[in-house]
Amino acid sequence: MSLEISNNNIYKNLYDGKWESIPNIKFIEITSPVDGSLVGKIEAMTKDDVDKVVTNSKSAEKVWSETPISKRAEILHKAADLLEASKSELSDILQIEIAKDRKSCLSEISRTVDFIKFTADEGKHMEGETIGADNFPGFNNNKLSLVTRVPVGTVLAISPFNYPINLSASKIAPALIAGNCVILKPPTQGAISALHLADIFNKAGLPPGVLNTVTGQGSSIGDYIVKHKDINFINFTGSTEVGKHIAEIAGMVPMLMELGGKDAALVLEDADLEAAAKNIVQGAYSYSGQRCTAVKRVIAIDSIADELVEKLKDKVEKLKVGMPHQDVDITPLINSKAADFVEGLIQEALDKNAKLILGNKRNGNLLYPTLIDNVTLDMRLAWEEPFGPVLPIIRVSNIDEAIEIANQSEYGLQSSVFTTNINKAFYTAKKLEVGTVQINNKTERGPDHFPFTGFKSSGLGTQGIRYSIEAMSRIKSIVLTIEG
Ligand code: NAP
Ligand code: G3H
């Protein structure tokens, strides 16, 4: 890993192709959710610093937009190779910075390597089209539209703490292949991992200024950057609260928003309960439930609910709890505020007579996997996104009641339906108000070239490699009129 990026664990920002320290800057200490140790310090950039960065990005737009796509793809492939080579070291940083278990860290990085390579190749195959005029009433074949895609300019990429490598790269790579400059504003907790990723892209040979970084608390400088007149596109992943706030203040800037979720797993009478339980437990508890696509509620038909709960319990009991390097399933939450919030949701449900099946134990920020049955619709746990290792079970009497409750959520990211009846699967899938329905599988994002989109408060626009490239470029048409 490069020496230029930090000095005595004090991290700089990538500016005009170099890692620069800002004189007289204040620092933010990043401590580990694992043991409270200092991971490093990052710069709390000011509005003036942001202005300087944006000006630099704008000055790099021309050279990058005129760089042939084949050359851009070559640089992305180089970045993917460098990322692959840094896997072990970066996984160590991720583990300590965001307390993600070792296996999930390695998988986040491998998946990102594949993402960058796929993006490079996809970009090479995104061709334009020509459209004739004679199929439109009143026109003959004397006009031709040559449709191409051009970059939008400078993309602001804002990523969340839970996937600081993957969800930074999934914005950076498609934006770059489309010919845009990128300013990365990483999550504060997760910034160090993301700065290492930026270093890798830079080392792969990006011209100076094509990728810059801005660090600082979103609550301090976030509003200023998102409203900056020279930002041409905002690609944001994070909470619905912050996403909605950005959408309100940013003005007429195109944006992609990946926000919160309350993904439901609907388990019907004829489901293979063993397979359903296995999928649900993996989907609900991996990275301690800190995933937008985690299964965040089970809606089970009453007649099979007892058996399902037994199977879920059996599997949740086997989850390993501990620290990231111990190859466990459940690790400490990102901070004590998050742990307090999850605990509050659990307590409110129990106070209202939900039935605790397992868990509700806490050691610092480490919450033990918690399974709660008989959750009813007057409980916050039925509706709110915990972002922690707790799974509520809501019992219903039939398929339509299950669909109705699923759709009452303010969120609409994904849902699963478990059934052995294909007709019921499609009946349910068609009625669920979500971007993706998984049939007999846990809710999850990948593979990353599939469309990924949230209905309602879960987002705006569609990600997924080709979709992201399309979103971060615009159609430009040149019309030829042929005489005679
Ligand atoms: P968050 O608090 O909303 O933060 C996300 C990012 O926004 C961070 O980089 C944050 O910076 C920044 N930010 C905060 N306030 C800002 C402002 N006013 N202007 C501009 N940027 C601002 O979310 P999180 O806690 O990191 O992530 C968890 C949430 O993300 C969950 O709700 C989860 O469901 C959602 N998520 C959704 C998806 C999806 O694909 N749908 C994927 C992953 C996560 P600081 O860190 O400096 O505050
Ligand atoms: O947290 C949100 C991620 O984009 C979800 O990805 O389903 O692979 O965990 P995942």
CA of 242 to the centre of ligand 1 (A): 7
Span 382-431, pLDDT tens digits:
999 999 999 999 999 999 999 999 999 999 999 999 999 999 999 999 99
Pocket lining for ligand 1, CB < 6 angstroms:
158-162, 167, 185, 187-188, 217-219, 222-223, 226, 237-239, 242, 245-246, 258-261, 292, 385, 387, 413, 454, 459
Residue whose CA lies nearest to ligand 2 atom number 8: 445
Measure 134 CA to ligand 2 centroid, in angstroms.
46
- The answer to whether the CB of 291 is under 6 A from ligand 2 is yes
According to the model, what pLDDT value does residue 1 have?
65
Q: How far is the CA of 291 from the centre of ligand 2 (A)?
A: 5
Q: What are the extents of the domains in the chain?
A: 6-259+459-477, 264-450
Q: What is the pLDDT of residue 3?
A: 66
Residue 303 pLDDT exceeds 70: yes
The verdict on the CB of residue 413 being under 6 Å from ligand 2 is no
pLDDT at 405: 98
What average pLDDT does the segment 124-152 reach? Answer: 94
* Residue in 215, 237, 455, 463 to alter for ligand 1 test, most ligand atoms within 8 A of Cβ: 237
Q: Is the CB of 296 under 6 A from ligand 2?
A: no
Instruction: Say if residue 189's pLDDT is above 70.
Output: yes
> Tell me, what amino acid is at 261?
G
Mutate to test the pocket of ligand 1, among 115, 240, 242 (most ligand atoms within 8 A of CB): 242
In whole angstroms, what separates CA 322 from the centre of its chain?
25
Look at ligand 1, atom 18, and give the residue with the nearest C-alpha.
Answer: 222
Q: Looking at 133-275, which runs of residues are DSSP E strands?
A: 143-151, 154-158, 181-185, 211-213, 233-237, 255-258, 263-267
CA of 293 to the centre of ligand 2 (A): 5
In ligand 2, which atom is closest to the CA atom of 286?
9
Cα dihedral 7, 10, 14, 15 sign? negative
Ligand 1 mutation pick, 162, 231, 385, max ligand atoms within 8 A of CB: 162
Tokens of 291: 């995933």
Under a CB-based contact definition with an 8 Å cutoff, are residues 324 and 34 in contact?
yes
Q: Which of 295, 444, 462 to mutate to test the pocket of ligand 2 (most atoms within 8 A of CB)?
A: 444
Position 483 confidence tier, pLDDT thresholds 50, 70, 90:
confident
- The predicted-structure confidence for 314-335, as pLDDT tens digits, reads as follows 999 999 999 999 989 999 999 9
**CATH number of 6-259+459-477, picked from 3.40.605.10, 3.40.50.1980, 3.30.360.10, 2.60.40.2470:** 3.40.605.10
Instruction: Please state the pTM of the whole predicted model.
Output: 0.97
* Cα 146 to Cα 27: distance, rounded to the nearest angstrom: 51
Q: What is the chain's Cα-based Rg?
A: 24
Q: Is the CB of 163 under 6 A from ligand 2?
A: yes
CATH topology for 264-450? Aldehyde Dehydrogenase; Chain A, domain 2 (3.40.309)
For ligand 1, the distance from its centroid to the CA atom of residue 236, given in whole angstroms, is 8
pLDDT > 70 in the chain, percent: 99
- The Å distance, Cα 153 to ligand 2 centre, comes to 27
Please say whether the dihedral angle defined by the alpha carbons of residues 437, 443, 446 and 452, taken in this order, is positive or negative.
Answer: positive
Average pLDDT over residues 166-193: 98
- Cβ count within 10 A of residue 393: 23
Instruction: In whole angstroms, give the CA distance from residue 206 to residue 40.
Output: 26
3-class state of residue 55 by DSSP: helix
What is the pLDDT of the chain when averaged over all its residues? 97
Q: What secondary structure does DSSP assign to 344-403, as a single string?
A: HHHHHHHHTT-EEEE---EETTEEPPEEEES--TTSGGGTS---SSEEEEEEESSHHHHH
Give the catalytic positions in this structure: 258, 292
Residue 9 pLDDT class (50, 70, 90 cuts) = very high
- What pLDDT score does 141 carry? 87
